[in-house]
Each structure stands twice: as structure tokens, then as C-alpha cells.
Structure 1
Amino acid sequence: MHAPPAPPEADMLRDALELAPDARVRPLSREPLGSGSVTGLEVTDPRGTAEPGTRTTGVTYFVDTSRRAVERETGFATGPSEAPDARVWLHPADPHLPALAPVAFADAASVLLARLGLAQSGPPVFVAYRPGRRGVVRVPTATGDAWIKVLPPSRIAQIVGIHSAFAHAGIPLPAIHGWSQDGLLVLAPAAGAPVAEALGDAEALLDEVDALRRRIAAVAVTHEARTGLKRRLDWYASRLGEYDAAFGALERRVRAAWREAAPTTVIHGDLHFGQLFQDDDGRLTGVIDVDTAGIGVPADDTAAFLAHAVASAVLTPAPRDGQVWALARAALRRWDDEAGRAQGFRARAATHLLGHALGAAEMREDERAAALLRAAASVIDQPAGTLGAT
């Protein structure tokens, strides 16, 4: 694999900030958003910009070409106000997530939690951030961690409704401490221990996962799941082709194995073992991150589970990686049945792996990216027993 030319957003940012010619602009991430993309860029410019007092050394900016409307700009934008051609903001001032910047600071988080009867006992920690989509902040409190999810205001009511529907169906989700229309959702910790910390018998875990999937299928929601996997395949393919000259052959294999399938049931939308919690006997006691749940293709959940297991196995050092590869092989054997093949299970899993590979390539982790592309190729048409074999 090789590094492609700097993305055009880097030049856009240089012009917008009037950076010195020798300023360093390092790409951090790039992913689709709306009708365009959002690109994270780290700026290092010891001499500053033409704007007096502007601090640009080792800070992260985002360049957004999604053309999505926001209630208020938090940086600056070009083009029409209702759908700017591009906008630039300094993290964490994400205009799509107006509640993100306030909760990123300890005092604001403390005030928010105090209103919910929670006493903060430590500084907030960013756990996850997808620009324009969501942020997750963990805050220690006197009674355990509070998890603050920051979401687009337009989605918060639906997500609270999903939590209510899942809870009504008896699916164990973390309790909601509170939420607000500006996009804040404050959750209690999930019950039990993370499955990822103690992977046990693979078949027993998959039995539990299938039981959970059956319960999710009975949840009373009517909107579509937010997976968008086919659209993401197009995005991953366009970007990976810039990194790997041989990628075209793999892309053709993925597309040949893809099967369109009508949504048939309620799915989680992003199901993997990192979302699951269990008791000492290996019984599932909790599931998190149901924001994407809705009516969708069942293979989207099984494919996400398989791909996450493979990506985790690639990252896990020996000898523990053997357990994770065993789970991935068991998942491939179990769900590569007639129904899975009709829904393009393998191609959907490979698509997820292309996304993982692109993330690694964007971070210049060439060895991991290459390993993930090899795994994606193996998932497409190799026997389950060869998955992860060297």
C-alpha cells in the first residue's frame, strides 16, 4: 500500500486558515457525510496564521463538504447559507453536534450531571467521536460512570423512542438518566462485564447472540435501520483504490458476492461483541448503542459481528488472538447458511472489513490495512476454517 496525495480538503484548510507554507497539515480521518465527506486534519504551524492570536499548533480541524444544514455555524462556511459548499470547524465545536463542546469541559459536564442527581468525581474523557454523527463522553461519578452521548438534535427523540421500545420488549439496555432536545443522552453503565474482556466458548456466545437477535426482531419499531452499507461500499472502494493499486480485483469479488435483500425484520444495525455484556455464566446481560436499530436486512447484523471479530483478531496480540479468530470462524460457519447467502452475508462482512482497512490506511498503518484487506478477501469465498490462517 502507498500513501495517496494529500486530500483536497488539506488545501482548502490551508487557504481558509492562511497557513504558512511550511505548516504541516496531517490527514487523520475521512468518511462520508451527507452528499460529501468530513475530513479531520491535524495542523502544526509554530508561526501561527495571519490571524493574530490564532493557535494552530497541534490542533484538529474538520473540513465538511456534506452540505447538511445546521442550526448555527461554529466555524466558518463558504457558499449558500442553507447548504454551504464547505465548512471548517475546530474540534470539539462540531456544528452538527451543538452539545458536544459544552460537555467536553469538566465544569459544564458537572453542572449537567448535578441536575440529574449525579455527583461528578473525575474529569470527562472522550471515548468516541464521529464528526457530524455522534460523540461519547465518559464521566466518573460517585455512583459509577455516566455515559454522555451527543447526537444530532434531529435524531434524539427517535433514539429515546428506540430505547423505550427495546426496554418494553425486555431487552437489557442501560438506563437513561436523562436527555435533552439539543442532542444529549445520559446513560447509566450497562449491566454485567464486557464480553470483550472475557471471550469464552464461541458457540455458546453465538447462541446468546442469536437469542438476542430473535428478541430484537420482535421490538415494535417501524423506521428503517441506519446501516447504509451499500453506499459505504462505494465510498470505501473509491478511497482504497487510491492506496492500493491491486484493490480493484478485491472490489470486483465483493460486488459479485453482494446480494440485494429486502428489509425483513428489526435489527440492531451495528451488532458486535464490543456492544455486549455478560454475567459470570456467559449469559448476556446488556447491549448498548442501539442508535442504528430499525427494520433492516438480518445479514447486516451478522456481517457486522463477523467483521468486528476479524478486525479485533487482527489487532489482538498472540496468543489471545486465537480466541478471537475462533469466534470469527465460528460466526462464519454459523451464519453462512442459505439465508445468509441469499442476503449476501459474506459480501456485507467484507464491506465492513474494507471500512476497517480504510481507517487503518488513513492512519498510515499499512501492515494492519494490508492484513484487513487479506481478511476481507478470505471472507468473500474461502472456507471458514482458513479464516485467519497464515
Structure 2
Amino acid sequence: MHAHARLHPLHSDPDFMLLHEALGDVAAEPRGDDMALRLISREPLGEGSVSGFAPMTNSPEQTWYVDTSRLPVRTETGLATGDDLTRPDARIWTHPADPHLPALAATAFGHAAKALLSRLGLVATGELTMVGYRPGRRAVLRAATDGGDVWLKVVRPRRLDSIVGAHLACAEAGLPVPTLRGWAPDGLLVLDSAVGTPAAETRWSPRSLLDSVDALRAQISGVVWDRPAPSIADRLGWYAGHAGDAVEVQRLVAGIRTLLANATVREDTVVHGDMHFGQLFLAGDGAGISGMIDVDTLGRGDAAEDSAAFIAHAVASARLTGVEHRARIRGLADAALERWDDPRVRGFTGIHLLGQANSARVHGDTTGAQTLYATAQRIVDGGSAGDQTEET
């Protein structure tokens, strides 16, 4: 190891050190056109995590991912290490060559996307736009076509059947999901746009929106679907392990564990799995919810999962919203917590916010992380969701 690497701010980060060993000096410090790297993301994946690193220049052509998930993939697209290369100890790849998402590279450059669109009777009329990417999990792109905008979702091939099935089951139950145009076996789906205006971009009152959400959740509970939903509780250990050892963090984690240990587990039902107002579209006449997206996580689970995801998303969104809308979204968080209040909702909300705070820390937003830790603690302790300190 080069002596100067000990001075890098990430010198104690094991994922960075794996990358440094692979890349050498380029990862550690500026040298001519080669810039030092910074951590841009870290999420749990499989048995470990996937961490993203990018140069200080924000060059989109140079993003590296270090993956310690040990999840099997069809083909390695970068460097893999370990004795069993079917489940390597670590792998390193550059975006968009995500080995978990074999359709991503071709789709991102338009080749696979245009071919699939053509088979569906659509002609691409512009460049693809990447609108979301979670390494190792999924990517979402928007494509302008002669039939209007469509959405391309890239997923792990082994999850394709489940996701297609969830869409079809929701449609069969009369839920307002976008039309599924088609899919390809390497993990690529094409969907129409949702009907209506995104809830985040239109006016609503907390009470009326929550009334509509309750009606939607009742519909979801009637979907014929028997797969288990993922639980945010499964992430508590990982989030706690990456949150540091500050007293306030340890107190929060202990409070969450106490709440969940003493709470009654309710009979499971079909849940969305990632319910929040960013997934909802409203009818132009204010008649209610006209569209719902991202049913990939549909499954049987505790109704508290959807309640907590909705509340935590509202809390986190309020921090990132302009001052003119912040109070309304905080009011939505408080109204949702009051309506759906129970110990498991509070515990699960605390876990979501712990993860949000960790992400803020990764992005260098120390103040935001502290705010989210404090809000999570207040909710876990039985308080309100929305009375955060105003931020400028």
C-alpha cells in the first residue's frame, strides 16, 4: 500500500481499500487528469453491501461500485475476488456494467431498448433518460416514443417473473397500475406512464389524500398474491452497523428494538411494500388516486410496513422540499402517524429514517443526518413526525 493512501479520508473504509487496491493511486489522490474518489452511495445487498465511488469531478463515465453481496450473477462484468467465484467475496464494476442487471448496459446505450420497443410497435423518438438507479437492484429509464413516453425498468432476471406477476395481479384486481407493454427475459420491462398527475406535483389536503390512500390500501389487500413482502425490519442490523457509535444513534437503535420486541405482530395482508406519495398519481378533478407505480415489492406482510414507509418518506421529503410546501408535507407525515399509529408503525418508521440518516451522512449532509436521527427518536418515543427544526 502506498504511504499517501493513509491520508485519504476513506482510508479506514474496507470497500474503498478494495477499490484502492484495484485502481492504485487514482483512487487516493489527484494526479493530473486522475481525480481522487469519494463515496457517493452505500446500500445493503445480499450478505454485504454495494458501495459507489465517483471522482471529485462528477464524471458520469467514471463510477465504480464495490459489491460484497456474494449474490450469484450470470456473468461477471468486472473484477471478482475470492476462492469461490460463483459467490465471490467481492466484485468491482464500473457503471453501467452492473453484473446483477445484465440488461442495463445495452439498455442504457439504447440498443436493447430500441429493439424491444420496435417489437412492441413503438418507435423511439429521442434519447433514453436515466431517472433512477439502485446498483445491484434496478434501474428506471424514460423513453420518448411515437406513442408517448414509456418507462423501461431493468431488474435482476431472477426477479422478472415475480414483478411481471405482481403487475398482472394488481391489474386483475382493478388497481390503477400502468399498462405493462412487454418484457424481456434478461430483466427488462416496458410500461406505459401512469394516469394522472404525480401527487408530489399537485395540491391535496392531508386528510383527503390519506382517505384515498386508505381506500387504495384496502384494494391492495384484496389482490390474490402469496409471495412474502420484504420487511424493513430485516435492514435494522445493517443500518445500525453503518450508523456509527454516537450515543444518540445507539439510543435510537435500542429504542427501535424495544418497540418491536414488545409490539404485537398482526396477521399479514397484501401490501405494496414501498408505499409513499411519490408512487401515487391523482386525477385532475381531485377525485382520488388514478395511478400507482412500483409494485415490485408487492407481497404478504404487516400493514405497518406500508404505513411506516409512507410516513418516513414524507418526513424525508419535507427536508428536501421548498419552504412553501414543507409545512404541508410535514402535516401529511403527522396526520398519517396519527391515523395509523401503533408501536410497529413507529418502530418501522424509525428504521426507515435511520437508513435515510445514514444516506445523508454518506453524502456529507451531517446536519440533515442529525435532523433525521432526532426525528426518528421522537417518533420512536411516541412523539409527532413533523415538528422538525426549520432549515434554510
- Structure 1 and Structure 2 fold alike (TM over 0.5): yes
Contact 1:379/1:387, CA 8 A, preserved across alignment: no
Contact 1:304/1:352, CA 8 A, preserved across alignment: yes
Query: Quick one: distance in 2 between partners of 1:318 and 1:172?
Result: 32
Contact 1:134/1:151, CA 8 A, preserved across alignment: yes
Is 1:11 aligned to 2:23, yes or no?
A: no
Q: Give the letter for the 1:41 counterpart.
A: F
Query: Quick one: distance in 1 between partners of 2:134 and 2:338?
Result: 32
Query: Quick one: distance in 1 between partners of 2:12 and 2:233?
Result: 26
1:5-50: CA deviation from partner (whole Å, max 9, x where unpaired): 65211111111123345351211111111111111111469xxxxx
Shift of 1:144: 1.9
SS of the residue aligned with 1:387? coil
Query: Quick one: distance in 1 between partners of 2:319 and 2:296?
Result: 27
Contact 2:182/2:191, CA 8 A, preserved across alignment: yes
Query: Quick one: distance in 2 between partners of 1:286 and 1:44?
Result: 39
1:118-169: CA deviation from partner (whole Å, max 9, x where unpaired): 1212211111111111111111122221110000100101111111111110
Contact 2:271/2:300, CA 8 A, preserved across alignment: yes
- Equivalence for 1:381: 381
SS of the residue aligned with 2:346? helix
Deviates more, 1:356-365 or 1:376-385: 376-385
Query: Quick one: distance in 2 between partners of 1:102 and 1:150?
Result: 11
Q: Give the letter for the 2:248 counterpart.
A: A
Residue pairs, 1:294-333, within 5 angstroms: 294-333=299-338
SS of the residue aligned with 2:123? coil
SS of the residue aligned with 1:384? coil
Is 1:133 aligned to 2:167, yes or no?
A: no
Shift in alpha-carbon separation, 1:58–1:377, aligned structure 2, 3 A? same
**Of the candidates 222, 241, 256, which is equivalent to residue 244 of structure 2?**
241
Shift of 1:251: 1.7
Shift in alpha-carbon separation, 1:159–1:385, aligned structure 2, 3 A? closer
Query: Quick one: distance in 1 between partners of 2:117 and 2:66?
Result: 32
Is 1:347 aligned to 2:347, yes or no?
A: yes
- Equivalence for 1:22: 29
**Of the candidates 168, 177, 181, which is equivalent to residue 185 of structure 2?**
181
Contact 2:337/2:385, CA 8 A, preserved across alignment: no
Residue pairs, 1:44-123, within 5 angstroms: 59-79=62-82, 80-123=84-127
**Of the candidates 190, 198, 205, which is equivalent to residue 194 of structure 2?**
190
SS of the residue aligned with 1:83? coil
1:283-339: CA deviation from partner (whole Å, max 9, x where unpaired): 101100000010000000000000001111111121211111111111011011xxx
1:332-371: CA deviation from partner (whole Å, max 9, x where unpaired): 11011xxx33xx1111111111111111110101122122
Contact 1:330/1:384, CA 8 A, preserved across alignment: no
Two-structure CA RMSD over aligned residues (Å): 2.0
- Equivalence for 1:50: none
Is 1:356 aligned to 2:356, yes or no?
A: yes
- Equivalence for 2:3: none
TM-score (norm 2): 0.90
Which ranges in structure 2 are unaligned for 5 or more consecutive residues? Answer: 1-8, 31-35
Shift of 1:375: 1.4
Query: Quick one: distance in 1 between partners of 2:159 and 2:297?
Result: 11
Q: Give the letter for the 2:180 counterpart.
A: I
Contact 1:28/1:40, CA 8 A, preserved across alignment: yes
Shift in alpha-carbon separation, 1:11–1:57, aligned structure 2, 3 A? farther
Deviates more, 1:255-264 or 1:289-298: 255-264
SS of the residue aligned with 2:132? strand
Contact 2:124/2:146, CA 8 A, preserved across alignment: yes
Contact 1:312/1:324, CA 8 A, preserved across alignment: yes
**Of the candidates 290, 294, 301, which is equivalent to residue 295 of structure 2?**
290
Shift of 1:106: 3.1
Q: Sequence identity of aligned pairs in percent? A: 45
Shift of 1:57: 9.4
**Of the candidates 36, 46, 63, which is equivalent to residue 48 of structure 2?**
36
Aligned residues: 371
SS of the residue aligned with 1:145? strand
Query: Quick one: distance in 2 between partners of 1:90 and 1:16?
Result: 12
- Equivalence for 2:369: 369
Q: Give the letter for the 1:113 counterpart.
A: L
Query: Quick one: distance in 1 between partners of 2:55 and 2:90?
Result: 18
Query: Quick one: distance in 2 between partners of 1:64 and 1:22?
Result: 22
TM-score (norm 1): 0.90
Contact 2:315/2:385, CA 8 A, preserved across alignment: no
Contact 1:314/1:371, CA 8 A, preserved across alignment: no
Q: Give the letter for the 1:246 counterpart.
A: E
Query: Quick one: distance in 1 between partners of 2:281 and 2:12?
Result: 41
Is 1:200 aligned to 2:200, yes or no?
A: no
